[in-house]
């Protein structure tokens, strides 16, 4: 017999070799119908995998991320099986579960393409395989046998992956006639999947290398109920309407030019206004928290990033070195701001009395992203981070971490990001080559983050292997108006860069000590944050932030002078206003400016001129009637002030 411990602390005994589905059935037949996978001592297992030792077990359902992952991973295999039947000779790359659904990279063969018109046939075949209730069977084989099996099937992509694995046991999963190299976990059989949809097809280079073959990446999604799929497809349609690329063009916020270069956004006047307002908002908060603003160059000597470790970790993702014509020195476009800030710290001797030292910069950095990975403002090659680095003593780490959390909460409140989760990203203890620094420093840094979150009473989830290479971090995952998750805001504790740059301060004991470094970016990158904000608000920005708050609409040309006088008066209250003096009917002007998401429209005619009033129409069609111009200006100023102070 073995002892199984459940999340509530209760313990039950089962025969050795019991499976997750058997445990679920012993608790409740209804639970057995809902459970998708099992967490055994923190590792996600198939429900049919025997448990041979005392273990802590959590049964995973659709509501659990691990449950969804197993469901969508199995769905990727289901799609691959359908493709294998429909496209004889097709070869398979990788097919993982992703945040919303799954994809599979496939090579359908020379001269063969998979188009959107083919999706219904693929979906139909998937539904047939679901109805067949095929068991999904896990098997362990040797590396030699795995190479032999996939070589016989001419699966060269799989063979390449297997050859890179360490010698030892390899797992495969089989359903029907389809077998895949896979660690799992998977559903017990195909019947668990109820509703399927192939979403799109795109090109993807094998292993992300532009010099390797281009495969077809098929995206799909599945659900345990058709109603859930229908709701998701409605959400996707709404997401298309909210696409920041479309709205950004409509509102004239930013532009991309192939002449300038892919992934390098050009901020237009209205977009620049919006972005600068966000920057000014954060700068004001930073002044209240005693940050000092700095500016660093857009390039740095290659050795700077060698010292920091960024070159070793991210050199291949950086723009290649720029060599000086005569001296032959090598410089890089700046991939990160933190090494520059370390050098600012080193500019003068530091005492414990100088700490904490908080350096902030809206610093533009550059990363080489492959053209296929670029996507509007969310994935670019040049972006500006709202970066800051806090240098402090070990005793100050937790307090400083808590203060940064306060800043992030102020920003989220002011911008109505009320729905968010906090994720503690730790290193993977089994993959130490991925990280730099001693175990002792990592343990101290991880403990500081965990204690700060506990002190705030912040509910968190822990993700192993998601830490930065130099330290653990706390990431904030925000859900937008459509329920999509975005990573916004990050705080990282770093004992390692101070070591690498030999940073010091003189302590009260008159001895030299190493400071601790906290990396902090509440927005993350200005580009990505603006993209998320556009899609969250559908372009209807908070009044304090929107580039144009008011448009004045004269009902005819003879009232244009009064309209411009209104704008002049509003500017005295720091209200951003424009006149729409086109020779159009007022109804057309209203429709056009509604489409531009203008918060307030002021209609002026003879009556308004006589009474020094404006007729107020709020975004969405709400008619608020006529009011004195001064009254309107005071109300708007008050509304803006209340919005901006909501987070404090």
Binding site residues for Zn(2+), as ranges?
Answer: 338, 389, 519
Residues 6+ apart with CB under 8 A from 273: 547, 576
Known catalytic residue: 389? Answer: yes
230-242 burial, b if ≥16 CB within 10 A, otherwise e?
eebeeeeeeeeeb
Question: How far is Cα 608 from Cα 559, in angstroms, rounded to an integer?
Answer: 10
The end-to-end CA distance of the chain, in Å, is 57
Question: How far is Cα 284 from Cα 556, in angstroms, rounded to an integer?
Answer: 42
Known catalytic residue: 303? Answer: no
Catalytic-labelled residue, pool 46, 107, 387, 480: 387
Closest to 272 in 3D by CA, of 298, 257, 252, 302 = 252
For residue 335, CA distances in Å to 338, 361, 363, 384 come to 9, 14, 10, 11
Q: Tell the residue number behind the tokens 């009011």, with chain if given.
A: 627
Catalytic-labelled residue, pool 69, 158, 270, 519: 519
Question: How far is Cα 201 from Cα 195, in angstroms, rounded to an integer?
Answer: 19
Known catalytic residue: 115? Answer: no
**CB-based contact 311:305 (threshold 8 Å):** yes
Known catalytic residue: 367? Answer: yes
Known catalytic residue: 494? Answer: no
Catalytic-labelled residue, pool 389, 403, 513, 589: 389
**H helices within 328-396, ranges in order?**
338-345
Checking DSSP bridges between strand 505-506 and strand 382-392, what pairing results, if any? unpaired
Catalytic-labelled residue, pool 217, 270, 277, 367: 367
Q: Is the peptide bond before 356 cis (omega within 30 degrees of 0)?
A: yes
Known catalytic residue: 342? Answer: no
Checking DSSP bridges between strand 505-506 and strand 577-579, what pairing results, if any? unpaired
Question: How far is Cα 58 from Cα 48, in angstroms, rounded to an integer?
Answer: 14
Known catalytic residue: 310? Answer: no
Catalytic-labelled residue, pool 125, 186, 381, 473: 473
The widest CA-to-CA distance across the chain, in whole angstroms, is 92
Catalytic-labelled residue, pool 385, 396, 423, 492: 385
**CB-based contact 98:210 (threshold 8 Å):** no
The annotation places the binding site at: 338, 389, 519
Residues annotated catalytic, as ranges? 338, 367, 385, 387, 389, 473, 519
């Amino acid at each position: 017999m073995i002892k199984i411990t459940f999340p509530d602390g209760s313990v039950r005994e089962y025969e050795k070799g019991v499976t997750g589905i058997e445990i679920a059935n012993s608790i409740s037949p209804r639970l057995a119908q809902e459970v998708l996978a099992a967490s055994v001592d923190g590792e996600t297992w198939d429900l049919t995998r025997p448990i041979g030792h005392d273990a802590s077990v959590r049964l995973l359902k659709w509501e659990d991320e691990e449950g969804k992952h197993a469901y969508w991973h199995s769905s990727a295999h289901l799609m691959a099986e359908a493709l294998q039947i429909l496209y004889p000779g097709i070869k398979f790359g990788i097919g993982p579960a992703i945040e919303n659904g799954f994809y599979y990279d496939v090579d359908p063969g020379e001269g063969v393409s998979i188009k959107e018109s083919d999706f219904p046939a693929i979906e139909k075949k998937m539904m047939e395989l679901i109805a067949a209730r095929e068991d999904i069977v896990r098997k362990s084989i040797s590396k030699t046998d795995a190479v032999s099996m996939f070589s016989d099937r001419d699966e060269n992509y799989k063979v390449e992956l297997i050859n890179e694995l360490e010698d030892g046991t390899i797992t495969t999963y089989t359903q029907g006639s389809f077998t895949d190299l896979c660690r799992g976990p998977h559903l017990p059989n195909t019947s668990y999947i109820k509703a399927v949809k192939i979403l799109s097809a795109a090109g993807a280079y094998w292993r992300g290398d532009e010099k390797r073959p281009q495969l077809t990446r098929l995206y799909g999604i599945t659900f345990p109920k058709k109603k859930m799929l229908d709701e998701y497809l409605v959400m996707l349609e709404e997401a298309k309407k909210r696409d920041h690329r479309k709205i950004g063009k409509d509102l004239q916020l930013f532009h991309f030019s192939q002449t300038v270069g892919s992934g390098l956004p050009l901020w237009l006047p209205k977009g620049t206004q919006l972005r600068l307002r966000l920057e000014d908002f954060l700068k004001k908060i930073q002044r209240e928290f005693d940050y000092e603003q700095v500016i660093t160059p857009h390039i740095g000597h290659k050795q700077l990033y060698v010292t920091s470790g960024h070159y070793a970790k991210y050199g291949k993702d950086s723009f290649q070195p720029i060599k000086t014509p005569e001296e032959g020195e090598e410089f890089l476009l700046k991939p990160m701001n933190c090494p520059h800030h370390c050098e600012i710290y080193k500019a003068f001797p530091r005492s414990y009395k100088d700490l904490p030292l908080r350096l902030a910069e809206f610093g533009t950095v550059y990363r080489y992203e492959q053209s296929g990975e670029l996507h509007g403002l969310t994935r670019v090659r040049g972006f500006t981070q709202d970066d800051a680095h806090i240098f402090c003593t070990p005793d100050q780490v937790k307090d400083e971490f808590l203060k940064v959390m306060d800043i992030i909460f102020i920003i989220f409140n002011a911008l109505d990001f009320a729905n968010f989760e906090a994720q503690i990203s730790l290193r993977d203890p089994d993959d130490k080559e991925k990280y730099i620094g001693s175990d002792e420093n990592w343990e101290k840094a991880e403990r500081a983050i965990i204690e700060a979150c506990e002190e705030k009473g912040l509910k968190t989830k822990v993700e192993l292997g998601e830490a930065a290479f130099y330290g653990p971090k706390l990431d904030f995952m925000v859900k937008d108006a459509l329920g999509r998750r975005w990573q916004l805001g990050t705080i990282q504790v770093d004992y390692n860069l101070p070591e690498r740059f030999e940073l010091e301060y003189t302590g009260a004991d008159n001895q030299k000590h190493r400071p601790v470094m906290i990396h902090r970016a509440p927005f993350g990158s200005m580009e990505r944050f603006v993209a998320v904000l556009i899609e969250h608000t559908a372009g209807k920005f908070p009044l304090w932030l929107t580039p144009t708050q008011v448009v004045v609409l004269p009902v005819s040309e003879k009232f244009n002078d009064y309209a411009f006088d209104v704008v002049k008066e509003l500017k005295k209250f720091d209200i951003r206003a424009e006149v729409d003096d086109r020779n159009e009917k007022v109804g057309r002007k209203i429709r056009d400016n509604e489409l531009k998401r203008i918060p307030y429209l002021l209609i002026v005619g003879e009556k308004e001129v006589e009474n020094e009033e404006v007729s107020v129409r709020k975004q969405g069609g709400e008619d608020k009637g006529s009011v004195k111009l001064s009254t309107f200006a005071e109300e708007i100023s008050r509304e803006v002030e209340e919005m901006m102070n909501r987070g404090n």
